[in-house]
Amino acid sequence: MKLFRATSVVLGMLCLMYFITYLDRVNVSTAAAGFAKDFGLNKTEIGFVFSAFAYPYLVFQIIGGWVSDRFGARRTLLVCGALWAAATALTGMAGGLISLLVARVLLGLGEGATFPAATSAMSRWIAKEKRGFGQGITHAAARIGNAVAPAAVVAIMTTWGWRESFYACAALSFVWVVLWALTFTEHPEDHPRITREELAVLPGVPAQKPAVPWGPLFRRMWPVTVVYFCYGWTLWLFLSWIPQYFLHSYDLNLQKSAIFASSVFFAGVIGDTLGGIVTDKLLVKTGSLQKARSVMVAVCMLLTLLALIPLMLTHNLYVSLACLSAGFFFAEMTIGPMWAIPMDIAPEFSGTASGMMNTGSAFAAIVSPVIGGLVIDRTGNWEMPFVGSMILMGLGVVLAFRMQPESRFGNNAAAAPADEPLDARVRTTM
């Protein structure tokens, strides 16, 4: 059955990882209703707790990408998984603001290399024409984590307490680490259950990995990084403050605010999945990476901007729900094309290149939640932080055309085998 093919199992394990990592990141947004009261934190201090994760996460994007390219996604994710699981458990043991910040920093350290390492794995385990779908479906799983977290955390909090919600997430993380060790091999041809048909469509791997040309690769990836920062600002604003937005802006109780927050995040699940499918179909239909990636990203960012405008004009619960859901849907439609771009531009350095790109979102994760908290504290207006999202989405529309995914980095004969099928090499070994 196709469902149990080696490639499907690997993609499923990556989806589960994305789900768990985002569950472990955003559970703190809902749990804040518990620990903020226990520790006497204001909105700005809560914002620092939200953003503490992002400091090491930012630093380890590029380092983690290089490590995964150099030492492999299997070992990288085993170490990272054990670290982020332990950090999640420590969050539940926190005794105040400082210990909360330390635990969140440790979580960022553990999760910093996860997405670049996953992209490095996908560059070998997913066919070129399905890269958008692979990135879209894994990030859709992440958004399911966003959507599930508010309701799941509330259910555990109301039954046992906010600390127990972190212990439950930590246990799930440790289970994933064990499963990853049992199911993944670095190279597809080494997997005991891989089929000839699967290998025939997978991209090859250069016989010898070239050294990373850091300067040229940085220069090539900077427009992609800036565009991803524009997206990341909105992402982290939503992930950090949407549960609190419905709780405080409309004076809903904890259970109702969780339902409304989950509704917004489920819109992102659909956007991620659809975005990955659409970008691949556009690539097949037009043969143009510029149209399938850059143009699609620009259109989706523009639609995000337009969707948020009514939020500034009226204060109505259901209008807000519709605007935020539509905005998150269109923002998440950019994920499939954006995460396919590093594999399009530099397939032999896909972990490092995607790490460079994700530094944009990681930096946004540092500043967006804190500035959002400051704006709310100073103005008392829960809609004002979204003005920054609209401005940056407009900037992203313009800069999306500078990414040039059709222009491959280091396009020469030595690099070409990275996208060639494995047929000839593998058949001699089977």
Question: In CATH, what number is assigned to the domain containing residue 189?
Answer: 1.20.1250.20
Task: Please tell me what DSSP assigns to residue 208.
Answer: S
User: According to the model, what pLDDT value does residue 296 have?
Assistant: 97
pLDDT computed for residue 124 by the predictor: 84
- pLDDT for 61 equals 82
At residue 52, the pLDDT reads 85
| 73 within a domain of the structure (yes/no) | yes
Predicted pLDDT at 401: 94
Residue 423 lies in a domain: no
The answer to whether residue 427 sits within a structural domain is no
pLDDT at position 430: 32
If one counts the domains in the chain, the total is 1
CA atoms within 13 A on the CB side of 118: 30
Note the pLDDT tens digit of each residue in 267-294: 988 999 999 899 999 998 998 999 999 9
pLDDT of residue 243: 77
User: Within a domain: residue 367?
Assistant: yes
Contact 47, 173 (CB under 8 A): no
Q: From the first residue on, what is the mean pLDDT of each consecutive set of 10 residues in the chain (430 residues)?
A: 77 93 81 84 81 83 83 91 94 89 90 86 83 86 81 84 90 95 89 84 65 88 95 88 81 79 88 92 91 96 96 88 95 92 86 88 85 84 88 95 87 39 36
What is the pTM (predicted TM-score) of this model?
0.76
Asked whether the beta carbons of 357 and 341 are under 8 A apart, the reply is yes
| Enclosing H/E stretch for 88 | helix 73-92
Q: What are phi and psi of 31, to 5 degrees?
A: -65, -15
Domain residues for the domain of 253 are 2-407
Would you say 16 and 141 are in contact if contact means Cβ atoms under 8 Å apart? yes
Rounded to 5°, angle at Cα 165 from 92 and 184 = 95
Cβ distance 77 to 112 under 8 Å? no
The DSSP call for residue 291 is I
In a domain, residue 426? The reply is no
For position 417, what pLDDT does the model report? 38
- pLDDT at res. 425: 37
- Taking 3-state DSSP, the helix, strand and coil percentages for the chain, each rounded to the nearest 5, stand at 85, 0, 15
Flag whether 321 is in a domain: yes
Q: Is residue 304 domain-resident?
A: yes
Within a domain: residue 414?
no
Burial (CB count <10 Å: 0-12, 13-18, 19+), residue 412: exposed
* pLDDT score for 77: 94
